[in-house]
Amino acid sequence: MKGRGFTLVELLVVIAIIGVLVGLLLPAVQAAREAARRMQCSNNLKQIGLALHNYESTFKMFCPGQVHTTSGGEPASTVWGISLLPFLEGANLGNQYNHSLPQQVQPNLQVLRTIVNTYICPSDLNTGTLQQVWGGTVFPNSIAPSSYKALAGASYSGFSTALSYDGQYFDLTAIGNLPAGPDQSVFTPVFVRQNPPNSWRGLLHVIPPWNLPQFNLRTLGCERISNVTDGTSNTYCITEYHTKTNPIFRAYWGYGRNQGSMAHAFPTQATRIPDYDACVRALGNGDLGLICRRGFASLHTGGANALGVDGSVHFASSSLDSRILMALSTIAGGEVTQGLGE
């Protein structure tokens, strides 16, 4: 007597059950993979933090965010990602970079075209290929992308120190003057072309040329630990940035154009959207792209990783109050915080 086989109905039921089980399993697998990617991203920032402190131990000061040598300033002669190479097992690569030559010529361009795994978050898109940067005729090149930017400090825009809110204007010489509001994105930048006060600087900011009169009020040099008067456990210095659109505005570890390797904290949560086009739409016509190019965002669910000056790594929620983020971005703003937290 032959054994009884599956009927068509039974086979379809089994397939349906398997499909349901796979449907339940896939989100769990994807979540586990993202958790692993986020952990790797956090480990990268820890390595960068160790490199920062090894640099400080060697030179008794932290590396510059960027060094500008001309009034135009960009591309800079060097950036923090290049300075840290010898402390990230990249001494051979770092030694190939000639600080006396422009970035767009050999051998410097070849250095910038090198993928540095420590500077890459595995959650980001297209990290293994060279990307065309935003540089126009000054820098029409494709170079290696990154996932991290130095946090240069707190700002309102590329040129602004004032905001309007409910028809009132605020001359914000201290972060504490920010009025309370239900949503910080309602603030509108007022472009007055003034520099923010030096107390708003971050750990890794631009070092301007000393011999130009327009920079007389911005006598900023490399920072020491003693300059971090807000406390090393209360200050961010490196943050993530990625965008799903307009990849020319993504992060680049060695690019000397300000927004290519530098970020700022702004009084709006729009800059924490991992999508440049969406950020511009959220801010409207007042942005001009200046703010969104200096964002702090990632493809991790709910926020992005940030490196503290003390070397710790924390996950900053995308809904974190903008005033708190601005306070955590300065080394000498005089704000009181309860620590970086999760």
* Domain definitions of the chain by residue range: 37-152+200-328
Query: Tokens at residue 233, please?
Result: 């456990």
Say how far apart CA 77 and CA 121 lie, in whole Å: 25
Task: Output the pTM of the full model.
Answer: 0.80
Kindly give the parts of the chain with pLDDT less than 70: 1-6, 25-31, 70-74, 136-137, 156-197, 209-219, 285-289, 336-342
Could you give the C-alpha distances from 110 to 97, 220, 254, in angstroms and in order?
Answer: 9, 30, 11
Environment class of residue 15 by beta-carbon count within 10 Å: exposed (0-12), middle (13-18) or buried (19+)? exposed
pLDDT given at position 81 = 97
> Looking at residue 251, what is its pLDDT?
95
CA 209 to CA 224: how far, in whole Å? Answer: 19
What's the pLDDT at 54?
A: 97
Q: How many CA atoms lie within 13 A of 275 on its CB side?
A: 6
Q: What pLDDT, on the 0 to 100 scale, is given for residue 97?
A: 94
For residue 323, the model assigns a pLDDT of 82
DSSP readout, 74-125? -S-SEEHHHHTGGGTT-HHHHHT--TTS-TTSTTHHHHHTS--GGG--TTSS
In this predicted structure, what is the pLDDT of residue 26?
65
